Amino acid sequence: MSNYAAFMQRIIIAAFLIVCLLVKGVTAFAQDTTQIDPYRIYKPGQKIAVTPWDSIAAVAYQRHLSEVDSLQQLLILQRIEEAAKDAENVHSMLIDHCGFKQLPSQLSALKNLDTIIIEKCPALDLEQAMTMFSSFPHLKVLYLIQGRYSKLPISIGSLANLQYLNLRDNKLKELPEALTRLTNLNTLILANNPYLSEEEIITKCSGISALKSLNLSYCQISTLPADIYRLSQLEDFDLGYNDLGILPPSFTKMDKLKSLSLASNKRMNLEQVCSTLALMRGLTSLNLSNCLMNVLPKNFTAMKQLKQLHLQGNNLAELPAKIGDMEALEYLDVSLAGMPEHARIAELPASFKKLAALEYLDMTGHALTKVNGYFKSMSKLQHLNLGYNLLPVFPEDLTECQSLTYLDLSMNPIHELPENLGDLQALETLNLSGTFFYSADKKIKVIPESICSLVNLKQLYLNDNVIEVLPDKIGSLKNLEVLELRDNLLKSIPASVTGIKGLQVLNLKANELEALPKNLAKLDKLRVLNVAFNTKLDFNKEIPNIASIKSLRSLDISYNKVQTLKAQQLKDYMPQCNIINLNLPERKK
């Protein structure tokens, strides 16, 4: 055997021995660290077959977390030190996602703090934190969230000026008696603390004299105790996302209650709940969203005192025939956005016309085909969303709603607009976008001249229609900030559009434009311009015009067969702008 061969043999043997030792060592390490693999979920008591590579992944992952935590701590220290340079004018501080066991001493220099947010800091010594917080005389708002804390220190009672305390997403098992010393505390968030008993909450919270708002959502509450009335000082009560069936009779003794959320309590006896709430004349806001309701009970309209009613995300095929008896309603949300599998309302009851006090109405996602005649009496209506319905025409009486500031009729098969659309002088947002899936005879073709008199309009959406021409005086919309014209048949844009000085977003994608308006530089607030899919544009002429918009930050010229050289020219002219130039791959001949 040659010397070289003998040398290589020794190298191979040595490498083999090293690998064996490494495997043994790593396996032992894995056993010592309970063999946790961060990328897997194990069942309790499950036997784990650990390979060296599992252990290496676990070690690498833990090392990565440690490095990230160290970096985050450093960034927070820098944040605090920077704030200390102007301590008198710093009023809030965020400390998040780190493994601090004690808060940095530098924080104590920020004596004018009124808001402190502690998020995802599970190792934090809350006793030390409360001692430091008590030295901030102006502290009014405190978040201790997502920290997996099981107990609060008694010293929290020293935060004499605290008004708002958010303790959501923890593992609290009890509340300290010291909370009753927080005589200025008016809002307490205990959401997603499932280990707290109802008795513990009522006993401690009833002693907080100033408490007006209490959030117990996601607390796995199935039954409210009879002594719930001890929380009689509450005005706002959130019991959403629990498992409640009924409300105890004593609930009616909470006579100061104004707002109640029972959202996503999916096994409620709604008839019993409505009977109870109808007796609470001070209750003006009720949230019953996402409760899987198929029908509203006959006694539902007995809650005539309600001003706000949230019913979105349910499975309702109709509204109560006597809903008009709820004449105090100012806010009604029955929307079904993104829920195609739910039952949909096809017709409004005749009594709906009596809801003259309505200011906000959202019925997105239903199957309404006719709403004419329902809005004549609604002179106070400001926000109306009837998007994603089946309305074939623009509701004529809507033009009598002179208080409307927001109108969304998008995704309806509307093909014609009224000439008196301009009567809606208060409008700030108008959405008349169609949908790709409707035929041309179910889309808007002509925009009435009167739209140019909507001088308060800030956002105008006309996407996915078959509009061929815009009114020449479109530039009269001096307050317009967003103009969406995607997927139409426009060959040109009126020159007056360059007079809309506040325009920030202009979407002209997928039209048939032959040229852009001249003097685009006048649009000195424009930040987003989309001219993709306008294959008739001559970019030899348009590049200087587009490049003159110095405020532009996003430009899409995709699918216009713009040569790489021309696109590069634009990038050279506009280094501050993100330019998108996607193109379809060329077919092989």
Q: Distances in Å between the alpha carbon of 267 and those of 148, 259, 270?
A: 29, 21, 9
Residues 396, 400: Cα–Cα separation, whole Å: 8
Nearest to 194 by CA among 157, 242, 136, 152: 242
DSSP annotation of 208:
-
Residue ranges for the chain with pLDDT beneath 50: 22-50
Which pLDDT belongs to residue 38? 35
Q: Are 332 and 306 in contact (CB under 8 A)?
A: no
Which pLDDT belongs to residue 59? 62
Alpha helices in 412-472 (DSSP H): none
Q: Are 349 and 370 in contact (CB under 8 A)?
A: no
Angle at the Cα of 146 from the Cα atoms of 140 and 147, rounded to 5 degrees: 90
Residues 402, 426: Cα–Cα separation, whole Å: 7
- Number of Cβ within a 10 Å radius of residue 111: 13
Going from N- to C-terminal start, the domains of the chain cover: 416-426+443-456+469-482+494-504+512-589
Give the mean pLDDT of the chain.
90
Residues 449, 423: Cα–Cα separation, whole Å: 12
Which pLDDT belongs to residue 271? 95
Q: Are 421 and 399 in contact (CB under 8 A)?
A: yes
pLDDT digits (tens, 9 = 90+) for 82-123: 999 999 999 999 999 988 999 999 999 999 999 999 999 999
Helix pair 539-547, 564-573: axis angle to 10 deg:
20
Rounded to 5 degrees, φ, ψ at 158 are -85, -5
Which pLDDT belongs to residue 444? 97
Which amino acid, one-letter code, is at 188?
L
Specify the fold of 416-426+443-456+469-482+494-504+512-589: 3.80.10
> Residues 6 or more apart from 452 whose CB is under 8 A from it?
422, 471, 473, 474, 476, 477
Residues 101, 383: Cα–Cα separation, whole Å: 49
DSSP assignment string, 310-343: E-TTS--S---TTGGG-TT--EEE---TT-TTS-
- Whole-structure pTM value: 0.86
